[in-house]
Structure 1
């Protein structure tokens, strides 16, 4: 996958998480839109970074199992 393809997937993952958390914070928690947007930005960022770390760890584990470096 090219760097631009990977960057596109990261942006899409963040956008989906942001919209999901925005709806949860506004409609379920009853927060006003500005506060819900701030919370959604943070709540979407943390799982996205966790997913990237998890993906990197899986890739490193696979390369170790197959005997390749990097």
Structure 2
């Protein structure tokens, strides 16, 4: 996967996570929009980084299973 394609997927995952967490924090927790946006940004960032780490770990595991390095 090229760098631009991966970057696009990361941005899309962050945007979806941000909107999802924004709705959860505002409507279910009853936070004002400003606090909900701040919380959503943090939660979406953490989720995106964890997702990238899992993606990398699974890719390395598949490469080792196939006998390739990397």
TM-score after normalising by structure 2: 0.97
Unaligned runs of 5+ residues in structure 2 are none
Runs of 4+ in 1 over 6 A off after TM superposition: none
After alignment, is 9-18 or 40-49 more displaced? Answer: 40-49
Cα-to-partner distance string for 1:38-64 (whole Å, 9 max, x where unaligned): 000001111111110000000000110
What's the counterpart of residue 28 of structure 1?
A: 28
- TM-score when normalising by structure 1: 0.97
CA-atom RMSD, angstroms? 0.5
